[in-house]
Amino acid sequence: MTQRSIGIIMNGATGRMGYRQHLVRSVLALRDEGGVALRSGERVQVRPLLVGRDGSKLAELARRHDVADWTTDLDAALGDPQWEIYADFLVTKARVAALRRAIAAGKAVYTEKPTAETVDEAVELAALARDAGVRNGVVHDKLYLPGFRKLARLIDSGFFGRILSVRGEFGYWVFEGDRQPAQRPSWNYRAEDGGGIVVDMFPHWNYLLENLFGTVRSVYARAVTHIATRVDETGTPYQATADDAAYAVFELDGGVVAQLNSSWAVRVDRQELVEFQVDGTHGSAVAGLFGCRIQPRDVTPRPVWNPDLAETHDFAADWSEVPDNEVFQNGFKAQWEEFIRHVVDGDPHPYDLLAGARGVRLAEAGLHSSASGARIELPALDLPPVMSVASGGATA
């Protein structure tokens, strides 16, 4: 019996995220496992089509990873019915136009974030996909990582009691590029090229906060550029025009307050590059990408403030590690499996273009807050009504 396969257009497969996480660690890993298991017990195999501007790079990637298909002609790929899914890993400035074309071609679309540079464009994409009846998804990778999966288990079990607050620290020192090469591309530090830590990280914070703790209702943020001059990939100094750090307070449903610091200009003194501390009436937890430590109310120590005596208590020893209790796979790969089942079997997939639009809106609101000094409220974000082509108006 011939196994069914599903063709995936991978646009931007030569980029860092497109290559490492989406091609090698997700789609090719699924291919080598024999495909994705469906509800029926059968498997659907994945067939990637590598798309980009540089044919020589695409050919080399295809040769290296035994991929049969590649092209520099996106329009031809979109016009070929054997390719059912369009996946986008382009820079943000190029994403909206490509997603519009894929939706118009009737492809299911799966995209990195942010989905657009403005919330209006992001909502437009979600509405276009709805009106075209195409399945769509946005990468929400951190929800699938071991540390946050463990944190979700704690929340679902009622471990925290009433959750009071969330405190998050993310970042590391990105070298300026003079003495040591920078770990991030130079466009990340140019606002005119879609760079900035707010537009990069706030979409992540939105889906983590709304899926773990509650919908974000307001934001107060301060975005800054700590390192004004950097050196690019050619060794040429340039002015950083985008923010490299952001300090924000988010108010969530249920009265939960989240304070998140994001910085590419901070030296790390914590166990992981991102950590969330969650405090509740019955217990607290500190979760990173992989680990999660807890301290229940009954074993909470009784600190006493005394600035005249050196502290001798080992507070770190009061926390216990949450065991894995399951095998965690790569977060990008896990979501790819879910999205393919969504396309083939129709399984629910809540992480759609509207969810992506909420992330873009949070980034936009964060930058607005920083520029104005105001707290920005975030009402519910809805799609516009479906427009009737025949009548030229909204359907009832």
What pLDDT is stored for residue 3 in this prediction?
Answer: 79
Tokens 């873009």: give the residue: 360
- Which among 146, 152, 172, 203 has a CA at the least distance from the CA of 330? 146
Averages of pLDDT over each 10 residues, the chain, 396 residues:
86 93 98 95 97 96 97 98 97 95 98 96 98 98 96 98 98 97 95 95 98 98 98 97 98 97 97 97 97 97 92 94 91 97 94 98 98 98 74 41
What pLDDT is stored for residue 326 in this prediction?
Answer: 86
Tokens 């610091």: give the residue: 261
- Helix or strand run (H / E) with residue 220: strand 216-224
Both structure tokens of 41 = 């017990």
Beta-carbon neighbour count of residue 200 at 10 Å?
21
Please return the burial class of 25, using the count of CB atoms within 10 Å of its CB with bins 0-12, 13-18 and 19+: middle
Could you tell me the CATH superfamily of domain 143-321? Answer: Dihydrodipicolinate Reductase; domain 2 (3.30.360.10)
Indicate where the chain has its CATH 3.40.50.720 domain(s).
Answer: 5-142+331-352
**Cβ neighbours for 128, distance < 8 A, ≥ 6 positions apart:** 100, 103, 104
Tokens 């001798």: give the residue: 312
Say if CB 214 and CB 254 are below 8 A apart.
yes
What pLDDT is stored for residue 387 in this prediction?
Answer: 60
Spatial separation of the C-alpha atoms in residues 196 and 189, rounded to whole Å: 6
Spatial separation of the C-alpha atoms in residues 138 and 18, rounded to whole Å: 14
What pLDDT is stored for residue 390 in this prediction?
Answer: 39
Say if CB 245 and CB 169 are below 8 A apart.
no
What pLDDT is stored for residue 17 in this prediction?
Answer: 92
Question: What's the predicted TM-score (pTM) here?
Answer: 0.93
Please return the burial class of 8, using the count of CB atoms within 10 Å of its CB with bins 0-12, 13-18 and 19+: buried
Q: Does domain 5-142+331-352 have CATH number 1.10.340.30?
A: no
Say if CB 239 and CB 191 are below 8 A apart.
no
Tokens 């208590």: give the residue: 313
- Which among 165, 155, 113, 157 has a CA at the least distance from the CA of 136? 113
Spatial separation of the C-alpha atoms in residues 55 and 71, rounded to whole Å: 7
- Which among 381, 366, 285, 342 has a CA at the least distance from the CA of 140? 342
Beta-carbon neighbour count of residue 234 at 10 Å?
8
Tokens 């298991």: give the residue: 37
